[in-house]
Amino acid sequence: MTTHFHPALGEAARSFLSREHHLLIDGRMVESDSGRRTDILDPATGNVIATAAEASATDVDRAVEAARRAFAGPWRKTTPAERTRIMLRFAALIETHADELAQLECINSGKPLAACRNGDVAGIVEMLRYMAGWTTKMGGETPNVSLPGEWHAYTLREPVGVVGQIIPWNFPLNMAMWKIAPALAAGCTIVMKPSEQTPLTALRLGELALEAGVPPGVLNIVTGFGNPVGAAIAAHPNVDKVAFTGSGETGRRILQAASGNLKRVSLELGGKSPVIVFPDANLEAAAAGVCSSIFFHAGQICAAGSRLYVHERAFDQVLDAVTRRANGMKLGHGMDAGTEMGPVISRRQLDRVMGYIASGQEQGATLAAGGDTTGERGFFVKPTVLTGVEPGMKVHDEEIFGPVLCAMKFSDDDDLERISAAANSTTYGLAASIWTKDLNVAHKMARRLEAGIVNVNALSSPDAALPYGGYKQSGWGRERGFDAIEMYTEIKAVAINLNT
């Protein structure tokens, strides 16, 4: 295999990429049943950087059996304090290998290296440490019951069992850890399927977990395509829960597949998140926030602020600041110093995004910035701003998952009800951002917005303690915070009649 590595890639990352990657089942790297392999690309160049094993439904069976054995055996018998210690060791090992992981994440997902190092890798360490704290603190309760006679009643919080986790390509490390950490803390065992496009860092995490003392079979990683691997996990009769992050279309398929054994389902799907700028806001800060929210990682973020609403008095100033920033952004390889925005993940994604930009223009929107691809190789789309966008246009209603912002106005004729009705006018409800100095407006808007996450004078709030998930068709359940622990546990009520 000929590989073309970026010159800034370190020795550890090179040596990992050069390996023949397999599946992680029962604590060992094993060949896939079929022996078939998939090319893994650097989206900034289109070059092949590694190949990964393509698992089959039979491989999923093996992984589920290993997870079931580990659940019944070693992991169930580990004390909460031991689980905490193992998870903290896992976090420390990730820190030791932070540069290698950041470089692998950068070269396979396209995100700028500094963001991978300071956002993704630092973020998963925080997530593990936060969830490791819950292990010794999650317990049941002793409800006061009013049954006749004398009773002692309590609840037990127990792990849900073997969990399947299916994740996308935009944040391979973060999406993996948002699911692995609460599942480990709760005492579950895992069959994880990374995206077929970005399986590398999940495999490396799996190795570090073993090194940290996570027993074999607790964390299994099966690489390969949605069909058959993801489909087999979602339908598996011996999997107790499936947690998914990705598109609504695939989410619906997973839900149907999960209905066979009524396994628990959590879904983190797309968004079309509004950013609402009131005229009293710090407009420079708002414009900077808008740009980070939609252009960071080329808009490939479920919570990307893709619909901008600005009061007409501030509209020109904000639009001008946004388009200036958009036109000035340095696009390039994530490993190159100074790169502010990388590529989208694939040729297919590039075509999708360009299709949306064309459809916006066909339906009457006007280009205020970008609108084109760029670069001699790789999958780069220029930061794009559309004005004249209205509900009913595809660019307004649908998630683009690219660096495309739709800018709209409101006026003094619009009260908070009308502004929030416009902001709520999609089938999604993931995130929203409000920019104002008026506390009453901020709190009233926060209540009126149909979104699982509302940020005020901020574009995002990436904290392990804050629940993350969507209203409406943005999904079911919440990741991060104690809500994530709840998704990986069952409650058992135990009642003891003390009179017999």
Contact footprint for ligand ADP (CB under 6 A): 166-168, 193, 195-196, 225-227, 230-231, 234, 246-247, 250, 253-254
Provide the 8-state DSSP code for 296.
G
State whether the Cα torsion 6-12-14-20 is positive or negative: negative
Q: How far is the CB of 330 from ligand ADP (least distance, A)?
A: 26
From CA 494, how far away is CA 158, in angstroms rounded?
12
Let me know: does 243 contact 166? Beta carbons within 8 Å: yes
Nearer to ligand ADP, 120 or 196 (CB): 196
Q: How many CB atoms lie within 10 A of CB 5?
A: 18
Q: How far is the CB of 474 from ligand ADP (least distance, A)?
A: 13
From CA 262, how far away is CA 318, in angstroms rounded?
49
Let me know: does 29 contact 7? Beta carbons within 8 Å: no
The alpha helices in 26-97, defined as continuous H runs, are: 57-70, 76-77, 80-96
Q: How far is the CB of 336 from ligand ADP (least distance, A)?
A: 26
Q: How far is the CB of 234 from ligand ADP (least distance, A)?
A: 5
Beta strand 151-159 pairing with 162-166: unpaired
Nearer to ligand ADP, 55 or 93 (CB): 55
Nearer to ligand ADP, 261 or 497 (CB): 261
Q: What is the DSSP string of 402-467?
A: SSEEEEEEE-TT--HHHHHHHHT-SS--SEEEEE-S-HHHHHHHHHH---SEEEESSS----TTS-
Query: In a 3-state reduction of DSSP, which class is residue 264?
Result: strand
From CA 239, how far away is CA 164, in angstroms rounded?
7
Nearer to ligand ADP, 226 or 403 (CB): 226
Q: How many CB atoms lie within 10 A of CB 167?
A: 28
Beta strand 219-221 pairing with 189-193: parallel
CA dihedral 89, 93, 95, 97 (to 10 degrees): 180
Nearer to ligand ADP, 201 or 420 (CB): 201
Nearer to ligand ADP, 128 or 166 (CB): 166
From CA 184, how far away is CA 457, in angstroms rounded?
34
Catalytic residue among 54, 100, 268, 340: 268
Nearer to ligand ADP, 161 or 164 (CB): 164
Nearer to ligand ADP, 265 or 283 (CB): 265
Nearest to 127 by CA among 155, 96, 88, 172: 88
- State which H helix or E strand residue 131 sits in: helix 122-135
Q: Is 268 a catalytic residue?
A: yes
Q: How far is the CB of 60 from ligand ADP (least distance, A)?
A: 11
Q: How far is the CB of 123 from ligand ADP (least distance, A)?
A: 20
Provide the 8-state DSSP code for 211.
H
Helices 98-109 and 200-212: crossing angle, nearest 10°?
Answer: 160
Beta strand 366-369 pairing with 264-268: unpaired
Q: How far is the CB of 244 from ligand ADP (least distance, A)?
A: 7
Nearer to ligand ADP, 59 or 196 (CB): 196
Q: How many CB atoms lie within 10 A of CB 212?
A: 18
From CA 99, how far away is CA 86, in angstroms rounded?
22
Nearer to ligand ADP, 168 or 305 (CB): 168
Element counts in the chain: helices (H) and strands (E): 18, 21
- At 42, list the tokens: 């650097």
Q: How far is the CB of 107 from ligand ADP (least distance, A)?
A: 19
State the catalytic residues: 268
